Amino acid sequence: MEPRNHTWLVEFLLLGFSEDPAVKPIIFGLFLSMYLVTVTGNLLIILAILSDPHLHTPMYFFLANLSFSDICFTSTTVPKMLVNIQMKSQAISYAGCITQMFFFIIFGALDDFLLAVMAYDRYVAICHPLHYTVIMNPQLCVQLLLLCWTISVLDGLLNSLLVLRLSFCTHMEIHHFFCELNQVVHRACSDTFLNDLMMDFEAVLFGGAPLSGILYSYSKIASSIRAISSAQGKYKAFSTCASHLLTISLFYGTSISVYLSASAAPSSASTAAASVMYTVVTPMLNPFIYSLRNTDMKRALKRLLFHK
């Protein structure tokens, strides 16, 4: 029998976490709860920032965009998984898989670059406070946001086009709850050299470049904080960075754990479990991180919810 080269006829099977019918309702309830919390929390952050003139600053401008990106990032994977559980199906069409992968790459990269831009914003605020409003002017903020979007969309488009050139024959099972790029590529029965090269390039560009910028920004911030004489001044300066630092730690910590998990066992269910941390848990926790210790944000949320 001749292998199928007609990729438009291919249907992938998302194996997810467990095929046990008794476990699936628990997984459904857990992911539905996390998804609703993620969307509600990030939406409240966006509405609070839009409704409060005091929060119309570069830091909150980028935070609102990060919250929007987090909603979209989670929405590319979780709803399809919930539908599959409810429909007792594991299938996703070829077109659906490519579309999901395209948007997942865009919003994953966008999160990555926004975190780097937010680190730069904190660097300017702490290291050059007198020039902050001049440097972080609205025009620069919009330009930085457009740059993040442009790179992310180009990355998603390029990866999707490279996958479209592949032929898929057998082994359509994906040991994940969404169409993860690496696993889809390695189900192909044609040459994947260009795809592997692109993924390696991405690891350097999206892993190394933003993280290097973040580390450089915080090394300068640490030096500036050490130079502050009063303990109160040091605490105030550090508190403006604490939420962002925690978000960065969650994002990169979980991403690295997924990478290590995938390297150890590329088709293991443990990779899917580790991916939950950065695809679902981190976007869900971000609204809490940015609101619980932030007085301005708490005040804006109270005004939004209780009209105080």
pLDDT tens per residue, range 40-79 = 999 999 999 999 999 999 999 999 999 999 999 999 999 9
In the structure, what pLDDT confidence band is assigned to residue 7 with cuts at 50, 70 and 90? very low
Domain for residue 2, yes or no? no
Domain for residue 249, yes or no? yes
Average pLDDT over residues 181-205: 88
Average pLDDT over residues 220-247: 85
Total-model pTM: 0.91
> Which residues form the domain of 215?
7-306
What's the chain look like in SS3?
Answer: CCCCCCHHHCEEEECCCCCCCCCHHHHHHHHHHHHHHHHHHHHHHHHHHHHCHHHCCHHHHHHHHHHHHHHHHHHCCHHHHHHHHHHCCCEEEHHHHHHHHHHHHHHHHHHHHHHHHHHHHHHHHHHCHHHHHHHCCHHHHHHHHHHHHHHHHHHHHHHHHHHHCCCCCCCCEECCCCCCHHHHHCCCCCCCHHHHHHHHHHHHHHHHHHHHHHHHHHHHHHHHHHHCCCHHHHHHHHHHHHHHHHHHHHHHHHHHHHHHHHHHCCCCHHHHHHHHHHHHHHHHHHHHHHHHCCHHHHHHHHHHHHCC
Q: Which of 3-12, 108-117, 199-208 has the highest mean pLDDT?
A: 108-117
Inter-axis angle of helices 282-292 and 24-51, to 10 degrees?
40
Question: Considering its fold, how many domains does the chain have in total?
Answer: 1
Average pLDDT over residues 271-287: 84
Q: Which of 16-20, 152-156, 253-257 has the highest mean pLDDT?
A: 152-156
Domain for residue 238, yes or no? yes
Angstrom distance (rounded) from CA 18 to CA 205: 34
- Flag whether pLDDT at 156 surpasses 80: yes
CATH number of the domain where residue 72 is located: 1.20.1070.10
Domain for residue 226, yes or no? yes
Question: For 198-220, how does the pLDDT look when each residue is reduced to its tens digit (9 = 90+)?
Answer: 988 888 887 788 989 999 999 99
Domain for residue 1, yes or no? no
- Flag whether pLDDT at 146 surpasses 70: yes
- Flag whether pLDDT at 187 surpasses 90: no
